[in-house]
A and B are shown apart, each in its own frame.
Chain A
Amino acid sequence: MATTNNSDKWQDGPVNEPDFLNVTKGLKSWLITLDHKRIGMMYLWGILISLLVGGAFALLVRTELWSTGKTIVDQDTYNKFFTLHGAVMVFLVIIPGIPAALGNIILPVQLGAPDVAFPKLNLSSFYLWIAGALCLVIAIPFGGLDTGWTLYTPYSLDSKSPVLLAVIGVFILGFSSIFTGLNFLVTIHKFRPQGMGWFQMPLNLWAMYATAIMQVLATPVLGITVALLGAERFFDIGIFDPTLGGDPVLFQHFFWFYSHPAVYIMIIPAMGVISEILSTFSRKPLFGYRFVAYSSVSLALLSFLVWGHHMFVSGQSRLANMVFSALTFTVGIPSAIKVFNWIATLYKGDIRLKTPMLYALSFLLLFTIGGLTGLFLGILSVDIHLHDTYFVVAHFHYVMMGSTLVAFLGALHYWWPKFTGRMYPESLAKICSLGVFFGFNLTFLPQFIMGSRGMPRRYWDYDPHFTIYHQLSTIGAFVLGISLFVVVVYLVMSLKTGARAARNPWGGSSLEWEAPSPPPLFNFETPPVIRELYDYSELVQVEEYRWERRPATTETTTAAAETASAATETASAATEATTAAAETSEPEPTPATTTDEPPTDTQEGDK
């Protein structure tokens, strides 16, 4: 029987076996792990490092734009800065961010499963991400990339920068994404426990499912597109080169067929985690559950119909322009449905303003702004003026950064106690979240204004009357950058110095909060009981960061605390006493239907 060498260290770690962080030691055990939680954590470190790298490029861009003309670098280097900022952020941070890092850690636990469907494929996905990231990073000392992250032909065919190396990296990253999506789809289909039907799944899982559909269907088109681009550069095959009979606009069709669903791959997981956070910190079930679930999937499907709205002024025909513009309006509807449902969730809720909730509330505002400005850009006549201006830049930063990254940070703080067993410093975190909010808005609100006044994007130099907007934007960028850096620092430090976390520090109702903090290797020591979704009635706050589940019959908190500790002892005694017999009789507490009683109580008899 495994000894519990850490129950005296973790506040609510596993009782009968080591937690997943300590079950095996040493670097090799991490590098060849098949445990989804370890894989997710490795992704998380990679993504956070990439965030800092991409952020550094962003600060270099904004520094250069502090004044007109040359501030720190010349035009060609500036092109490389914004390209690498875009490529690193899009391919290494925002697309994998929530699904690969947090999804890998949390999805099976939230589902009540011991692991994802294909653990070896999961590890392969991680190593593919590393390989792709290395390709992109190695391109930097070889001259970087200067085509813009969108790699438009014909310049990407002629550019002297190492485009081939970069597109090989993108190709590999594409397969990492596809395999992650495949894994999640099969896991959600095949590892849902008895009692958790489709409409008893938390909305985070619906969001992951919708994202996975898009990852599997759209990413292969990116793969073939960059493969053709590489072949064109290396072999002169001519498919995008008009002098050889090819069509450069065809590249844009191919590229945006993936890249539009890609932006929904970025935002839908964010919407999923926001649903969870808003519900938990309002102590209310999410309003309009089915509507939100359906809108996740319908958004995923609709996202395939609108890619031409990136090409309104690229030479696309008038007919296609009109069709894509009309379809773009429809794609705003599911997002709007979600925003209304989130606000209705907050209404008359018991709002607790912890850090995850602060990020979630920021998300609501920033996503609304980002989404609405997207609709402006979907109008043909308006887009003629706004295309390739800073308005577009501000729009996509509001949705990619103000929404996805903010949701990522919220979710990171929300689940940090669960998978690290530590609490981050709450006051500092709140200050940083305000710094992120303030810095973000200071950076990007002026960009809307200067974009509508004609400031083009990706320009190294500009007309002097835009200077004040650029300077405000640069100051905001540094405020934002410093806040993000401090966030990463205190999170890393909390691993050693943070307070031990309870099993359920926020009073969440989904299955991951039934697992120990941190969870053992296969997530649950006893099979989790499937309860009604978003039901907070039994959760009682015992301390500020500790909630416990009490059935409605129990009375005082002290008596409940005593019973809870007694119940834990009895549970461990019971499991220790019955070894072989337990294997056959243990499935009993997980009946075919949901029950209100936690397993410990049934073993003690009725209360």
Chain B
Amino acid sequence: MATAHHDAHDDHHGISHVASAKVLLGTGGSLLFLTVVTVLATKVDFGPSINLALAMFIAAVKATLVVLFFMHLKYDKVFHTVIFVGAILAGALFVGFTLMDTGQYQETNIWDVDRPPPAPIGPRPISG
């Protein structure tokens, strides 16, 4: 039967792993720091796609910290990670296939005339 240990440090006999204060504070602090970094990064102009990639990379790092430490996935059963990653993969599948499809449509909003949309993939229809 699970019994309670009043020792703040040793809880490996308890129901589940107890997060250490250092880890929690460290993760929280890193997250706040990274938030500042990501805001400052937008002030510098690397070009739109690089700025986006940088912002997403920092967001991914923050998300990993939250998931591993705040949500205990590092200390948890592997199957829980499988569930979470599986859901993200399903979402990525959804995005990928839909983007593949809509990317083929002709652009209808002419923003830059010097950069026409790419030709769609596939055989041309027979009719004119």
Contact = CB atoms under 8 A, between A and B. Distances in A.
Given A217-B87, A217-B90, A304-B90, A318 B97 contact: no
B98 A253 contact: yes
How many chain B residues sit at the interface, stated as a range, is 10 to 19
Contacts of B121: 317-319
Nearest to A322: B122
B33 interface: no
Interface string B40-67: 0000000000000000000000000000
Interface string B76-112: 0000000000110010011001101111110000000
A305 B87 CA distance: 14
B101 A247 contact: no
Interface string A276-308: 000000000000000000000000000011011
Contacts of A249: 102
A320 B87 contact: no
A486 interface: no
Q: 4 closest Cβ contacts across the A-B interface?
A: A318-B122, A317-B104, A320-B101, A319-B121
Contacts of B102: 247, 249-250, 317
A257 B104 contact: no
Nearest to B87: A217
B123 interface: yes
Nearest to B125: A318
Interface string A332-371: 0000000000000000000000000000000000000000
A216 to B, nearest CB: 9
Given A217-B90, A320-B97, 11 more contacts: A247-B102, A250-B98, A250-B102, A253-B97, A253-B98, A308-B101, A317-B100, A317-B104, A318-B120, A320-B100, A323-B97
A575 interface: no
A319 B97 contact: no
A515 B94 CA distance: 44
Q: Which of B94, B101, B102 has the most CB of A within 10 A?
A: B101
A221 B101 contact: no
B2 to A, nearest CB: 16
Interface of B: 86-87, 90, 93-94, 97-98, 100-105, 120-123
A257 B90 CA distance: 10
Contacts of B123: 318
A307 B94 CA distance: 10
Nearest to B86: A217
Contact of A304 (B93, B98, B101, B104): B93
Given A217-B87, A304-B90, A317 B105 contact: yes
B87 A308 contact: no
Given A308-B97, A308-B101, A319 B120 contact: yes
Contacts of B100: 317, 319-320, 323
Contacts of B90: 217, 304
Interface residues of A, number: 20
B93 A318 contact: no
Nearest to B104: A317
Contact of B104 (A247, A305, A318, A324): A318
A316 B99 CA distance: 11
B88 to A, nearest CB: 11
22 contacts: A217-B86, A217-B90, A247-B102, A250-B102, A253-B97, A253-B98, A304-B90, A304-B93, A307-B97, A316-B101, A317-B100, A317-B102, A317-B104, A317-B105, A318-B104, A318-B120, A319-B100, A319-B121, A320-B97, A320-B100, A323-B97, A323-B100
Nearest to A305: B93
B93 A319 contact: no
A247 B108 CA distance: 12
Contacts of B93: 304-305
Interface string A510-534: 0000000000000000000000000
A317 B101 contact: yes
Contact of B101 (A217, A253, A305): A253
Nearest to B121: A319
A198 to B, nearest CB: 12
Contacts of B101: 253, 308, 316-317, 319-320
A305 B90 CA distance: 9
Contacts of B97: 253, 305, 307-308, 320, 323-324
Contacts of A304: 90, 93
Nearest to B101: A320
A256 to B, nearest CB: 11
Contacts of B87: 217
B6 to A, nearest CB: 29
Contacts of A247: 102
Interface string A231-250: 00000000000000001011
Contacts of A221: 94
A318 B103 CA distance: 11
A12 to B, nearest CB: 36
Interface in A169-214: none
Contacts of B98: 250, 253
A305 B86 CA distance: 14
B117 to A, nearest CB: 12
A320 B104 contact: yes
Contacts of A320: 97, 100-101, 104
Interface string A113-127: 000000000000000
A265 to B, nearest CB: 15
Contacts of A217: 86-87, 90
Given A247-B102, A253-B101, A317 B94 contact: no
A253 B103 CA distance: 14
Residue in B86, B97, B105, B123 with the greatest tally of chain A CB atoms within 10 Å: B97
A150 B113 CA distance: 39
Nearest to A217: B90
Contacts of A253: 97-98, 101
A91 B118 CA distance: 41
B31 to A, nearest CB: 26
B127 to A, nearest CB: 13
A250 B105 CA distance: 12
A548 to B, nearest CB: 39
A316 B105 CA distance: 9
A217 B94 CA distance: 11
Contacts of A257: 94
Contacts of A316: 101
A307 B121 CA distance: 20
